[in-house]
Amino acid sequence: MASGVLAFAESVGGKLKKSAFEMASAGRKLAEGLGGPFSMFVIGAGPGEAAATLGRHGVTKVLTASDPALERYSSDGYSLALAAAAAVADPAILLLASSAMGKDLGPALAARLGCGIITDAVDFSVTGGKLAARRPVYAGKVRALAEPASCPVVLSLRPNIFEPAAENGGTAEVVPVAVDLSGDRIRAVVTAIMAPEVRKVDLTEADIIVSGGRGMKGPEHFHLVEDLAAALGGEVGASRAVVDAGWRPHAEQVGQTGKTVSPKLYVACGISGAIQHLAGMSSAKCIVAVNKDPEAPIFKVADYGIVGDVFEVLPALAKAIREKKGA
Ligand SMILES: Cc1cc2nc3c(=O)[nH]c(=O)nc-3n(C[C@H](O)[C@H](O)[C@H](O)COP(=O)(O)OP(=O)(O)OC[C@H]3O[C@@H](n4cnc5c(N)ncnc54)[C@H](O)[C@@H]3O)c2cc1C
- Ligand 1 and 212: CB distance under 6 A: no
**Strand (E) or helix (H) holding 34:** helix 18-34
- pLDDT grade for 198, boundaries at 50, 70 and 90: low
Confidence of residue 197 (pLDDT cuts 50, 70, 90): low
User: Per-residue pLDDT tens for 108-131?
Assistant: 999 999 999 999 999 999 998 899
Are 67 and 102 in contact by the 8 Å Cβ rule? The answer is no
Cβ of residue 102 lying under 6 Å from some atom of ligand 1: no
Q: What is the pLDDT of residue 57?
A: 97
The single-letter code of the amino acid at 89 is: A
Please give the mean pLDDT across all residues of the chain. Answer: 93
pLDDT per position as a tens digit, 275-309: 999 999 999 999 999 999 999 999 999 999 999 99
Buried b (16+ CB within 10 A) or exposed e, 118-148: bbbbbebebeeeebebebbeebbeeeeebeb
Distances (CA, A) of 102 to 21, 75, 118, 295: 15, 10, 12, 37
Looking at ligand 1, which atom is closest to the CA of residue 241?
Answer: 23
Strand, helix or coil for residue 327: coil
Spatial separation of the C-alpha atoms in residues 86 and 93, rounded to whole Å: 9
Does residue 121 sit in helix, strand or coil? Answer: strand
Asked whether 276 lines ligand 1 (CB < 6 A), one says yes
Q: Which atom of ligand 1 is nearest to the CA of 238?
A: 11
* Nearest alpha-carbon partner for 28 in 166, 175, 153, 171: 166
Q: How confident is the model at residue 255 (pLDDT cuts 50, 70, 90)?
A: very high
Global pTM reads 0.79
State the pLDDT confidence band at 212, using cuts at 50, 70 and 90: very high
Task: Tell the burial category of 169 from Cβ atoms under 10 Å away from its Cβ (0-12, 13-18, 19+).
Answer: exposed
Distance 210 CA to ligand 1 centre (A): 15
Calculate how far, in angstroms, residue 273's C-alpha sits from the geometric centre of ligand 1: 6
Task: Note whether 257 and 278 are within 8 A (CB).
Answer: no
> Residue 282: CB within 6 Å of ligand 1?
no
| Alpha carbon nearest to ligand 1 atom 51, residue | 276
Q: Could you tell which of 240, 275, 299 is best to mutate to test the pocket of ligand 1, judged by most ligand atoms within 8 Å of the CB?
A: 240
Q: What is the pLDDT at residue 192?
A: 80
Task: Please tell me if the CB atom of residue 20 comes closer than 6 angstroms to any atom of ligand 1.
Answer: no
- Residue 196: band (very low, low, confident or very high) from pLDDT cuts 50, 70, 90: low
State the Cα–Cα distance between residues 254 and 243, nearest whole angstrom.
Answer: 10
Q: Which residue has the higher pLDDT, 104 or 44?
A: 104
Nearest to 87 by CA among 70, 69, 112: 112
Residue range 63-69: mean pLDDT, rounded: 92
pLDDT given at position 195:
65
59 pocket-lining for ligand 1 (C-beta < 6 Å): no
Average pLDDT over residues 175-188: 91
- The CA 18 to ligand 1 mean position distance, Å, reads 30
Residue 188 confidence (pLDDT) above 90: no
CATH number assigned to the domain covering 203-325:
3.40.50.1220
Q: Where in the chain is the domain with CATH 3.40.50.1220?
A: 203-325
Question: What's the pLDDT at 72?
Answer: 86
Ligand 1, closest atom to CA 242? 26
Q: Measured from the CB, is residue 274 less than 6 Å from ligand 1?
A: yes
Tell how far the Cα of 271 is from the centroid of ligand 1, in angstroms.
Answer: 5
Cβ contact 228:210 at 8 Å: yes
Ligand 1 binding pocket includes 310 (Cβ within 6 Å):
yes
Is pLDDT of 191 > 60? yes
In this structure, which topology does domain 5-176 adopt according to CATH? Rossmann fold (3.40.50)
- Asked whether residue 139 carries a pLDDT value surpassing 80, the answer given is no
Give ranges for CATH 3.40.50.620 in the chain: 5-176
Query: How far does residue 304's CA lie from ligand 1's centre (Å)?
Result: 19
**Distance (Å, whole) CA 16 – CA 123:** 23
